[in-house]
Amino acid sequence: MGKIPVGIYEKALPLDMTWHERLTAAYQAGYDFLEISIDDGDMRLARLDWGASDRAALRQAVRDSGVPITSLSLSAHRRFPLGSASPGLRQRALDVFRKAVDFAHEFGLRHVLVAGAMAYYEDHDPGTADRFLDGLERGFEWASAAGVTLALENWDICIDSIQKVMQYVDHFNSPRFRVYGDIGNLVYAGYDPLAELALGQGHFAAIHVKDTIPGQLRYIPLGEGSVPFVDCFARLAEIGFQGPLALELWTERYPDSVEIVAAARQWLQSRMEAGWRMALESEIAGEEHP
């Protein structure tokens, strides 16, 4: 396999860092890129309305650090859901969607992660799924016109597996709409990650990596959960995955977050290499990894 780029999720690094400090820390820890977050908090949502000076500062930080920002994790749709029964919330969701695509286009990001949550804080009704799809279709139009790829992540109970994400991939039938696979989310939701990863073969934009256990999604240190990392990396090698991996941690308020992120990079690399070796040995032996 070729070299797989490994990035770090913004929320893994200290919240109070400047962009230059954050990207430099990512570089020093051995990461190839950073994934920026536009979540449902006012602080990160405000980035979509940055003025010229803030935008110029981010560009300068990327140039100075040598670490690109290549993807945008758009989780703001938890607060402003595409599938909401409220027309006002749906319009706000579309506004956020359009601005996120414009942001990605302006900064040269490759894809926008869309979380698989239809109406996160609402009870679903018979029209929820249709409204969600309508919103996705609008976002897809904007992204395609801008040359940006949308990547739907397996997340939340409605779209919590690769199989369910693939229903949308098949619907759009475009290289501009792909799967953002999250291995930890699969384990959290009780799925077999090896079987699920195989279902997305040829359709992954990227993979999120974190450790989880069934029923607990966050704050589990790497290696202390139930994710079979080596087996998962072997499966990715077997299906010919060549896209980026992004390590997703929520350690931005930890006093030792920089050290955690650096150690995680080395830990992850060793498991990746073990997985690639496992896949190669199985291929040589003419066996299929279970």
Flag whether 192 is in a domain: yes
Flag whether 83 is in a domain: yes
Please, are residues 201 and 240 in contact by the beta-carbon 8 Å criterion?
yes
Rounded to a whole number of angstroms, the distance between the first and last alpha carbons of the chain is 20
Flag whether 62 is in a domain: yes
* Farthest-apart Cα atoms in the chain, separation: 59
Q: Is 20 helix (H, G, I), strand (E, B) or coil?
A: helix
Flag whether 95 is in a domain: yes
DSSP state of 213: B
Q: In the prediction, which pLDDT does 282 show?
A: 86
Flag whether 181 is in a domain: yes
Flag whether 1 is in a domain: no
Angle value at C-alpha 139, between 135 and 142, nearest 5 degrees: 145
Domain count, the chain: 1
Full residue range of the structural domain in which residue 77 is found: 6-285
Flag whether 290 is in a domain: no
Please, are residues 28 and 264 in contact by the beta-carbon 8 Å criterion?
no
Q: In the prediction, which pLDDT does 157 show?
A: 87
For 169, other C-beta atoms within 10 Å of its C-beta total: 19
Mean pLDDT, 10 residues at a time, the chain of 290 residues: 88 97 98 98 98 98 97 97 98 98 98 95 95 98 98 95 98 98 97 98 98 94 97 97 96 97 98 95 74
What CATH number does residue 16 fall under? Answer: 3.20.20.150
Residue 144, token pair as written in the block: 């395609």
Residue corresponding to tokens 């980035």: 47
Q: pTM to 2 decimals?
A: 0.95
Instruction: Please name the helix (run of DSSP H) or strand (run of DSSP E) that holds residue 150, with its range, or none.
Output: strand 149-153
Distance CA 209, CA 229 (A): 9
CA quadruple 146, 168, 243, 104: dihedral sign: positive
Distance CA 69, CA 20 (A): 12
Distance CA 123, CA 119 (A): 8
Distance CA 60, CA 204 (A): 30
